[in-house]
Amino acid sequence: MQVTTDLSGLYGRTYAVDPGQWHPLAAASAGATVLLGPHVELVAWGEAARIRLPAGLRSIAGTDAVSDMLRRVGQEDAVGVPGGGPLALAALPFDPAAPCDLIVPRWIDGRNSDGLRWRTEVGPSGGEGDGVLEQHVPPWADRGGTDRPDASPEPPGDGDEWSPDRFDLQAGVPHAEFCKLVELATERIGSDSLQKVVLARDVRVSCNRPLVLGEVLSRLRALFPSCTLFSVEGFVGATPELLVRLQGRAVLSRPLAGTAAHSGDTIADALAEERLMESAKDRREHRLAVRTVAHELSRFCSSVSTPGTPEVLRLRNVSHLASPVRAVLDRPIDAAGLAAALHPTGAVCGYPRQEALRFLADHEPISRGRYAGPVGWVDRNGDGEWWVGIRSAEVHGSDARLFAGVGVVEGSQPRSELAETQLKLQALLAALVRP
């Protein structure tokens, strides 16, 4: 196993803090890492260490290697909740063999769904069981009121910059070329063992001024309040898809596949959801995505259960078919090891997985980078949450690269699949492009 970094020289201290001052979106604008899930919200900054995976996610699949390393960090923990104490977090590449790192933050602010707030500090050990850690106030702590999703940015003062107001958009792959790729995929699906492949496309946005990440996340939260928000080293998004959550021995995954567009008309949207549930093509696509998750979990878990009928997950602009897959862990694996084993699922790659990966390596004309890779965290007890990095963009200064994908199965129509990617791209464009 190629996992490098010795954390035994570090020490962590976790303590409860005032639940009042909590402004994670302001923290994102100040450069912090932000992961805002429905159960645990984390704001992290600084870097105590990096856990390096030279052989990529495959090197930790099915193991508890990351949490085992975190357990070597000395610790005082006055809180004792999932996500408390030293942890490792990351937005990881789609390619499971690509070298990557997990960050052990220097400081972490956390909040759970019960309203409990805590701070963890990680630094060099003092050598006598007590750390050499000083109290630290984050630079955004006094920015009260900036996280309201309906808040309009104040006009800039002297020395401040306005948000961008000029945008140039360009598709990374011409529409006709993408449709030809869909045609090629459907031909392969009809002629060999490949049953589904997920194709991605990108759009590049150039702005006249740097994008403000806190503003982007605030708009995403207002548009998609049920999604998990993230901002990790320039990779930002609002994802509805849970790759895996592990708490104790309880495992939950919720793959999404099958999409219906919204028109804004309540009756029309309800009919579209009915057609989605009745669509043989969408149900087949969804079934393959669920099958990959259940199969992988069965290697490590007992009592793997999948619903007989998917449910409809309704977002602002689309509805998806969703199936919660539940299981009970019966061997020592942490949340990062489970995420690595599950990734990439049939929802973002295809089925069978290796055949789909080969097709993408041979034919997909873009580099996905971190798009559709795992985004999340794991703590020293092995608990954690990892989400699928969809509805996402790479944002660096005044440039952004937005991604969307679509599942191709037998019967897929190229122009319909192109339209679905356009619909999904609107989620990010609405948050980034504000003329």
pLDDT digits (tens, 9 = 90+) for 177-198: 999 999 999 999 977 789 999 9
Q: Looking at domain 10-135+166-432, which CATH architecture does it have? A: 4-Layer Sandwich (3.60)
* Res. 126 pLDDT band, cuts 50 70 90: low
What is the pLDDT averaged over residues 315-323? 89
- Res 30: pLDDT: 85
Taking only the tens place, the pLDDT of each residue in 277-310 is: 999 989 999 999 999 999 999 999 989 999 999 9
- Res 8: pLDDT: 87
- Res 2: pLDDT: 59
Predicted TM-score of the model (pTM): 0.91
Answer whether residue 409 shows pLDDT above 80: yes
* Res. 128 pLDDT band, cuts 50 70 90: very low
What is the pLDDT averaged over residues 224-250? 96
User: SS in 3 state form for the chain?
Assistant: CCCECCCCCEEEEEEECCCCCCCHHHHHHCCCEEEECCCEEEEEECCCEEEEECCCHHHCCCCCHHHHHHCCCEEEECCCCCCCCCEEEEECCCCCCCCEEEEECCEEEEEECCCCEEEEEEEEECCCCCECCCCCCCCCCCCCCCCCCCCCCCCCCCCCCCCCCCEEEEECCCHHHHHHHHHHHHHHHHHCCCCEEEEEEEEEEEECCCCCHHHHHHHHHHHCCCCEEEEECCEEEEECCEEEEEECCEEEEECEEEEEECCCCHHHHHHHHHHHHHCHHHHHHHHHHHHHHHHHHHCCEEEEECCCCCEEEECCCEEEEECCEEEEECCCCCHHHHHHHHCCCCCCCEECHHHHHHHHHHHCCCCCCCCCCEEEEEECCCCEEEEECCCEEEEECCEEEEEEEEEECCCCCHHHHHHHHHHHHHHHHHHHCCC
Arithmetic mean of pLDDT over the chain: 89
Answer whether residue 129 shows pLDDT above 70: no
- Res 150: pLDDT: 38
What is the pLDDT averaged over residues 364-387? 97
**Catalytic-labelled residue, pool 121, 215, 241, 385:** 241
User: If 0-12 CB within 10 Å is exposed, 13-18 middle and 19+ buried, where does residue 249 land?
Assistant: middle
- Res 136: pLDDT: 54
Which residues are registered as beta bridge partners of 102? 51
Q: Is 196 part of the annotated catalytic residue set?
A: yes
Q: Is 241 part of the annotated catalytic residue set?
A: yes
- Res 265: pLDDT: 79
With contact defined as beta carbons under 8 Å apart, do 197 and 418 qualify?
no
- Res 137: pLDDT: 55
